[in-house]
Amino acid sequence: MKKIKVWDIPTRLFHWALLIGVAFMWYSSGDFDLMEYHMIIGRLILCMLVFRIVWGFVGSTTARFTDFIRSPISGIRYLFGRDSSRTEGHNPAGGWMILALMLVLLTQAVTGLFADDDIFYSGPFFLSVDADLADWLNGLHHQNIDYLWVLIGIHVLASIVYQIRGKNLIGSMLTGNKQAEETVEAPEMRSPWLALAIFCVICGLGYYFMW
């Protein structure tokens, strides 16, 4: 066995920053005094998600969608131990979990741009749509959070199960390394400076359009 790098710095930073961001969004959602920060962090999370989508096409091997998105049947077969295909990054079932989490988080972040609390705070695009559509998006913003908690719960539970079975997924996402057989080639890692440039451009566009 040997140690190889499987997760690049941008992917790891995205993962842990997103965790902190979502935790803050949950904490601040019921606190009127923190609502302004709730909206700012929500926009930052949207920029992070857009970055992750772009990085999913141009980033390191294990960060690319083509590396971990398999057919739904492959994901189901993997859960039942009937799919032996492997990747040094996400497995076929985990890939679909990541995709579902990103979709629900994107829905949450985008609908937040149209949300309104009927008192002081409203999203930057609240007045750009008619009242009925704004009400529907606002309702979706509050309802969608339930789906997010379910997916997060499954994701955390799966991580714990893998830890118990001796697969240190959490440690790998912290250090970027994992143990692999001698014959396994390390995935290609793209430059973190490229990721920083992409993220800065996305944040600049986000600031221009959402503030």
Quote the percentage of the chain above a pLDDT of 70. Answer: 99
Quote the percentage of the chain above a pLDDT of 90. Answer: 79
Instruction: Give the predicted TM-score (pTM) of the model.
Output: 0.94
pLDDT at res. 49: 98
pLDDT digits 0-9 by tens, 38-59:
999 999 999 999 999 999 999 9
The answer to whether residue 99 scores a pLDDT higher than 70 is: yes
pLDDT at res. 173: 95
The answer to whether residue 87 scores a pLDDT higher than 90 is: no
Mean pLDDT of 66-82: 89
The answer to whether residue 120 scores a pLDDT higher than 90 is: no
Q: Tell me the DSSP string of the chain.
A: -EEEE-S-HHHHHHHHHHHHHHHHHHHHTT-GGGHHHHHHHHHHHHHHHHHHHHHHHHS-GGGSHHHH---HHHHHHHHTT------SS--HHHHHHHHHHHHHHHHHHHHHTT-B-SSS-B-TTGGGS-HHHHHHHHHHHHHHHHHHHHHHHHHHHHHHHHHHTT--HHHHHHHSEEEE-TTPPPPP---HHHHHHHHHHHHHHHHHHH-
Total tally of structural domains belonging to the chain: 1
Q: Indicate which CATH number applies to the domain containing 158.
A: 1.20.950.20
Predicted confidence band at 132 (pLDDT cuts at 50, 70, 90)? Answer: very high
Predicted confidence band at 211 (pLDDT cuts at 50, 70, 90)? Answer: confident
The answer to whether residue 86 scores a pLDDT higher than 70 is: no
Domain of 15, in residue numbers:
2-210
